Structure 1
Amino acid sequence: MHDSIRPRVTIVGAGFSGLVAARELEANGIEVTIYEARDRIGGRAWTEERLGHTLEMGATWVHWMQPFVWTEITRYGQRIYPSPVADDAYWLSGGEVHHGTEAELDDKLLRPQARIFEASQEFFPYPHEPLHILDSGDEELIQRFRAADQGSILDALRDGSFSQEEIDLADAYWSAGYNGYTSSASPLMAKHWAALSDHRLSLLDEQTLRFKLENGMRGIYEAIAADLTATVHLSTPVTAVEHDADGARVTLDDGTVVASDAVIVTAPLGALDTIAFTPALPAPAQSVVAEGFNCTGFKIWIKIRGHHSLIAYAPTGNPIALVRSEYFLDDDTTILVGFGPDHEKIDLDDVTQVQDLLHRWRPDLEVLECTGHDWAGDRWSGQTWATPRSGQFLQGWSLFRDSDTRLRFAGADWAKGWNGVVVDGAIETGITTARGLIDELRSR
């Protein structure tokens, strides 16, 4: 890069990927400006005080085997602590409520999950290079890999060797995991998650649902923001992006046009239809934007009377697929966290509806309050964490990785490693996208 001309990069979005990309660019002498549509930073990570406790409206769990987020936890001196193990487990199947321990529930999941994870070692020998097999030259393996992106995740259990109870448990687990309907969920994502977890269900559970940050996600995203000199313009949506081989111009919602040497768009796939791109995105990418990912669900926090240590599963047809105890408060209440596949099937603030849903497992539970954020209904996200529909593992996130112009995409939706579900993927792409631009701008 020439000393006399300091390059400038515009970043759309102040979530983890945007903030990390800005930090990386600034460290290399590049001027950065960030435009954020919301009135806060953090994106789909949002630590908030609700129900008398500090809660995560979005991203929550972290782990030392997620390399990018663990680096940030270490960098900023943050600490983790475990979510509780439940005393009682309940699961719906065959119109009945079954009861046991969480360990017994986990044991019942082992056999169907082993089938769902089948071939994960073959398909993902390098989990952070998820499409590696396509360059292997092994045509038989490539064909099986492509076929595994079709159909639904539960197809592997429908050969007659699995009980309805096992199918219902897997359905509930992955309705929460994909945060969308299992009938349209690509089987490859589950196999990829298995590969990122040493092909062990216990480690997958630990990475995605066990450890939280003592200071919340804001303990990291606010720390990253504090390291920046860049101006972060809040409540400033970008409505259009023009891009070519030499630079980019973004149009703000008040009509202002801002030119720079490059633009990094960190908006989730579900919000890309709020931005007009010129030239338009390639047709395959446009098709994915129009279809959307599989993540149509929700996350809900529920306060109930009394201390109750529980986890509960329910298959498709029940709005809440998974609910579990997270916090036991001094006022003799418990805060549960829940997930389901369809945000249109629940009112996150409706105590009466949520109590009726919990009564499917435990008629004695009394709901006092409930809350959440409708990410799928939010125009600036349009989805929860990114999970692929059938066919989208191969024709989805990767379509946004390359560009012949100075337009780049970053965010958990486009990650190679922990794609979508955790902050790790957002940080990964913030770093890699910024580094790619740094190399390009140095050579100009």
Structure 2
Amino acid sequence: MDSQSNKSNRHLQAGSRHAASPSVIVIGAGFSGIAAARALHDASFQVIVLESRDRIGGRVRTDYSLGFPVDLGASWLHGVCNENPLAPLIGRLGLPLYRTSEDNSVLYDHDLESYALFDMEGKKVSQELVSKTDVIRQDHSEDMSMQRAISIVLERRPDLRLEGLAQKVLQWYICRMEGWFAADADTISLKNWDQEQLLPGGHGLMVRGYLPVINTLAKGLDIRLSLRVTEIFRHHNGVKVTVEDGSTFVADAAVVTVPLGVLKSNCIKFEPRLPAWKEEAINGLGVGLENKIVMHFETVFWPNVEFLGVVADTSYGCSYFLNLHKATEHSVLAYMPAGQLARDLEKMSDEAAANFAFMQLKRILPNASPPIQYLVSRWGSDENSLGSYSYDIVGTPHDLFEKLRTPVDNLFFAGEATSMDYTGAVHGAYYTGLMAAENCRMRVLERYGELDLFQPVMCEEVPVSVPLLISRM
């Protein structure tokens, strides 16, 4: 991986028919950007990746400061199956997966027997009550929030109304739904909340983190770190990209993979301005927030389940902890706030946020010992992400994801927010990177007059030769 070079070497010149190869600038070194760069590099394009952070990975961040890998961003392979476009790579690398679910339901995205639910007084909730409680959805002609839809159903069906502990368990299920979308139920679209495709095989936690995967994809690529793009100028036969220090890069085309939150912030100027339909897609999609407060303890003092849940009168008051000891054998719990709670916790210091999470844990386990180390993610206030991942907000069509992916002249777009089917997932980001690379390759070679229609497309993956390593302790 090349480090940042001096200004005189920072120009990837526009291609011509006599150039050694066509050229592309990839903006963003997350999974979609690295996937696009890898594919174009392997197709003999000149490729430079510009990344604003001092590391690759984007919203994939594997931290080793505790002495072992912990993913502070994306950490699951959603769909543990060979149909998942990332499965061949993970299989070939021999990276272990810990299966935390056998099914793919949004609300039951982990096995019920792997839960331990408690009320605020530390009393355990019976499994029989949990299995009988579910979020209710009815079809409506107009779109509305999930919260409003649930309220309407309960108003019309008095027999479905819940009281006492059962109502609190219902709020916990709403809390889990909010965690899935990283958004509050009063903003999630009723019509579009289940439009994503869920691959078979359940959910597998990346035991050693996602960093080995993206490091493998990035090997040998020309990646320039700590270069924040401020302007993208396009013309009929090329692009010019300007970074914060005034340096410019010129190429035949660009692949834009920055997060949706960054696009919404307008910190990158597009010249000429993006068409109205593209701006509509950027403005119309929601960006959710989910963080992790990872607590490392001296010893394990909690039940041997995958999730510890706390029920409360409102979804805001509910919480859950991922038991990483089950998968990694390290004495670690990860508190995972989403939506408004995540935003409120980002206003606190790391110490205060970690103490808040620990006090939630002490509500259900009064004898809990304090953590010896902790990590706190802040995806909402991170200027390089400005949120966790995208979702459908009330009143907007689901095809905005497709509009966000659609190229504009010689600008191509990728990232989880450009995936119609796998929104918010690492494999969605990865696959859109491959699609953008293939669209870019064909468009540029068509202009050069060198397009070979019989050349295999880059999106086709080699069949997995090594089975996925899946455990269930």
CA contact (8 A) 1:16 1:423 kept: yes
Matching residue of 1:259 = 250
SS at match of 2:69: strand
- State the partner residue of 1:42: 57
Aligned to 1:281: 274
Alignment CA distance shift 1:221-1:330 (3 Å): closer
Cα gap change, 1:281 to 1:98, in 2 (>3 Å): farther
Map 1:37-436 → 2, pairs under 5 A: 37-62=52-77, 63-65=79-81, 67-83=84-100, 89-92=116-119, 99-100=124-125, 104=128, 107-109=131-133, 111-112=134-135, 115-116=136-137, 147=142, 150-158=143-151, 159-160=153-154, 161-163=160-162, 164-165=167-168, 167-193=170-196, 195-197=197-199, 206-207=202-203, 211-226=204-219, 228=220, 230-272=221-263, 273-286=266-279, 289=282, 293-304=286-297, 306-309=300-303, 310-314=307-311, 316=314, 318=316, 321-327=319-325, 333-342=331-340, 343-346=342-345, 347=348, 348-350=350-352, 351-368=354-371, 369-394=373-398, 396-420=400-424, 422-436=425-439
Task: Give the Cα–Cα distance (whole angstroms) in 1 for the partners of residues 376 and 208 of structure 2.
Answer: 19
Match of 1:126 in 2: none
- What is the deviation of 1:397? 2.1
Q: Which string of whole-angstrom CA distances, capped at 9 and with x for unpartnered residues, describes residues 272-307 of structure 1?
A: 222111122233543554576240332221234533
- Distance of aligned partners of 1:216 and 1:48 in 2 relative to their CA distance in 1, 3 Å threshold: same
1:162-184 Cα offsets, whole Å, 9 max, x none, are 42345313211112111121110
Give 3-state SS (helix, strand or coil) of 1:443's partner.
helix
Distance apart, 1:337 and its partner CA: 4.0
Quick check: 1:91–1:361 contact (8 Å CA) kept in 2?
yes
CA distance 1:10–1:89, shift in 2 (3 Å): same
Structure 1 residue 104, shift from structure 2 partner:
4.9
Q: Structure 1's 357 and 88: CA in aligned 2 closer, same or farther, altered over 3 A? A: same
Q: Secondary structure of the residue that 1:248 maps to in structure 2? A: strand
* In structure 1, distance between residues paired with 2:369 and 2:99: 25
Task: Check 1:325–1:46 CA distance in 2 against 1; reply closer, same or farther (3 A cut).
Answer: same
Percent sequence identity over aligned pairs? 22
Q: Who is 2:466 aligned against?
A: none
Deviation at 1:436, TM superposition (A): 0.8
Task: Give a deviation string over 1:181-223, Cα, whole Å, max 9, x none.
Answer: 1110123454224x5256xxxx6xx32xxx2234320110001
The separation in 2 between residues aligned to 1:437 and 1:170, in whole angstroms, is 42
Which residue, out of 23, 48, 61, partners 1:8? 23
- With 23-32 and 165-174 compared, the bigger mean Cα shift is at 165-174
Q: Against the structure 1 CA distance between its residues 393 and 349, is the aligned structure 2 distance closer, same or farther, given a 3 Å change threshold?
A: farther
**Given residue 324 of structure 1, which amino acid in structure 2 is its aligned partner?**
L
CA contact 1:36–1:237 (8 Å) conserved in 2: yes
Aligned-partner SS, 1:280: coil
CA distance in 1, matches of 2:98, 2:290: 26
Aligned amino acid, residue 335 of structure 1: L
Q: How many angstroms does 1:77 deviate by?
A: 3.5
**2:36 corresponds to which of 17, 21, 27:** 21
5+ long unaligned stretches in structure 1: 120-142
SS at match of 2:423: coil
Change (3 A) 1:3 1:76: farther
Distance 1:53 1:83, change over 3 A: farther
One-letter code aligned to 1:78: L
* Structure 2 Cα separation of the partners of residues 262 and 64 of structure 1: 35
Question: Is the alpha carbon distance of 1:31 and 1:87 closer, same or farther for their aligned partners in structure 2, counting shifts above 3 Å?
Answer: closer
Gaps of 5+ in 2: 1-14, 102-110, 155-159, 448-473
Following the alignment from structure 1 to structure 2, what is the Cα–Cα distance between the partners of residues 81 and 296? Answer: 24
Kindly indicate whether the alpha-carbon contact (under 8 Å) linking 2:192 and 2:398 is maintained by their aligned counterparts in 1. no
Structure 1 residues 406 and 332, CA, compared in 2 at 3 Å: closer, same or farther? closer
From the superposition, tell whether residues 308 and 387 of structure 1 become closer, same or farther in structure 2 (CA, over 3 Å). same
* Aligned-residue offset at 1:10: 0.2
Partners of 1:175 and 1:321 within 8 A in 2: no
Q: Distance in 2 between matches of 1:105 and 1:50?
A: 40
Aligned to 1:135: none
- Listed one character per residue, the Cα deviations across residues 113-168 of structure 1 (whole Å, up to 9, x for unaligned) are xx44x78xxxxxxxxxxxxxxxxxxxxxxx95xx4xx3212344331224234531
The structure-2 alpha-carbon separation of the partners of 1:105 and 1:308, relative to structure 1 and needing over 3 Å to count, comes to farther
Shift in Å at residue 330 of structure 1? Answer: 11
1:78-122, CA deviations, whole angstroms, 9 ceiling, x for partnerless residues?
A: 332335977661255xx7766246x6576245x42xx44x78xxx
Kindly tell me: are residues 96 and 271 of structure 1, through their superposed partners in 2, closer, same or farther at Cα, counting changes over 3 Å? same
Cα contact 1:320–1:338 (8 A) shared by 2: no
**Is contact 1:313-1:321 (8 Å) kept?**
yes
Contact 1:172–1:313 (CA under 8 A) maintained in structure 2: no
Alpha carbons of structure 1 residues 332 and 104: separation in structure 2 relative to 1, 3 Å: farther
Which residue of structure 1 aligns with residue 445 of structure 2?
442
Q: CA RMSD in A?
A: 3.1
Distance between the aligned counterparts of 2:328 and 2:181, measured in 1? 33
Range that drifts further, 355-364 or 76-85? 76-85
Q: Could you tell me the TM-score, scaled by structure 2's length?
A: 0.75
The CA deviation at 1:311 is 1.5
- Partner Cα distance (1:80, 1:264) in 2: 31
Amino acid aligned to 1:345: D
Aligned length: 397
For the 8 Å contact 2:175–2:315, the answer to whether it is kept is: no
